[in-house]
Amino acid sequence: MNVEVDRLPEVAPLRKPALQIPQRFFSLDAVRGLAALSVIFWHWQHFFYHGIEAAEYDRTAQPFYPLFFVFYNKGWIAVDFFFSLSGFIFFWLYSERVAARDISGRNFALLRFSRLYPLHLLALGVVLVGQSVIYHRTGQFFVYPFNDVYHFILNLLFASSWGFERGFSFNAPTSSVSIEILIYALFFILCLKGGARPWMLAPLVLAGLILLRFQPLLGRGLFSFFLGGLVFYTYAAMVKAGWVERWVGPFAWVMIAGWVVALLEGRFDLIPLGRKSAALAITGVLFPMTILALALIETKRGHLGERLSPLGDISYSLYLLHFPLQLTFMIAIGSIGWSPSFFYTKTSMLVFFTILIGLCTLSYRFLERPAQRILRDKFMA
């Protein structure tokens, strides 16, 4: 007896769902916090200043130097990483919304003001008091010399690095934030006019390179911010084309190799970072590659670096509060009669960072977030 068996219909093989851009990049939050810590290690040398003059000190005797040597030696360049990361984040979060008129200039400005200004104002006030105390005791300021009414007004307006200043003043780490204010305005205008396209960013990157000679900090900001924008467009194109899984491995290995070379250079000073070509290799290649590789890895794996992401939450307060705390420590050891050599000890660093991270956590929870909420609820159109 013949039995006819119906053939099952052919079923197309299951396809993996397309990868999407994450709602949050935990890894980028984490490295933002690490960049802030890098700047603090670089500024540890402030403790050995004689007034506003950099004094000779033993760099290698600083606390935990074998572990954090790259931060002590090259930590200043983390500012350029901030600029690049800001470019990536802003083009990710705001470029299309601004171009579509979903966010007005007023609201965009309020978003930035409510995030940046409350803590800036507090830190500026603390530095004003601290510098006054030190000047009264010693007859000179600490590290940053231009602490007069004129420069106070510039700082109050977030204009301390717009070309009107005579030098560093008050809470000078905010100078890079001052530059970002100008870049935010340029970014908004560019997006509003529909010009936020990859090919439009290259001339701005080039302009930043040219400005390095005349306005170094502005040039660094312009170059790195819009390079970060190009990184975002590259990343978004790779996600759209479905290339993430194919290229995430190669980009990750290139990133790792780049950081191995950078660490070796930082330890043995193989290439003086003062040379423009060496600095450009880091700011123009390694930093963008790092941002792109981390974004690709997190797109594929998800939640990369989530445990360290709270560092990103307090990165702004780490950046703004470390110099006011340094001032406070200098006043304290002056009152006790201790020598600045105390800051060669591991105890000094452990105490400093314990207090700093505690203050930053409190600041983020009880000042920055509440101030943002109040200002946005009251003034957002």
Q: How far is CA 222 from CA 161, 180, 359, in A?
A: 13, 9, 31
CA distance 15 to 319: 45
Find tokens 């930053």 and name the residue.
360
pLDDT number for residue 269:
66
pLDDT in tens, 73-85: 989 999 999 999 9
**Lowest mean pLDDT, pick from 15-29, 171-185, 305-319:** 15-29
CA distance 73 to 199: 36
pLDDT number for residue 264:
83
Which residues have C-beta within 8 Å of that of residue 111, sequence separation ≥ 6?
103, 376
Q: Degrees (nearest 5) of the Cα angle 363, 365, 368? A: 60
The token pair at 146 is 């231009």
CB 151 within 8 A of CB 160: yes
Closest by alpha carbon to 314, among 35, 11, 72, 3? 35
Q: Running DSSP on this structure, what letter comes out for residue 215?
A: S
Strand, helix or coil for residue 1: coil
CB 218 within 8 A of CB 186: no
Average pLDDT over residues 5-12: 42
pLDDT band at 47 (very low <50, low <70, confident <90, very high): very high
Closest by alpha carbon to 227, among 75, 82, 108? 82
CA distance 14 to 203: 44
- pTM to 2 decimal places: 0.92
Rg of the chain (C-alpha set):
24
Average pLDDT over residues 76-102: 95
**Lowest mean pLDDT, pick from 21-35, 116-130, 275-289, 319-333:** 275-289
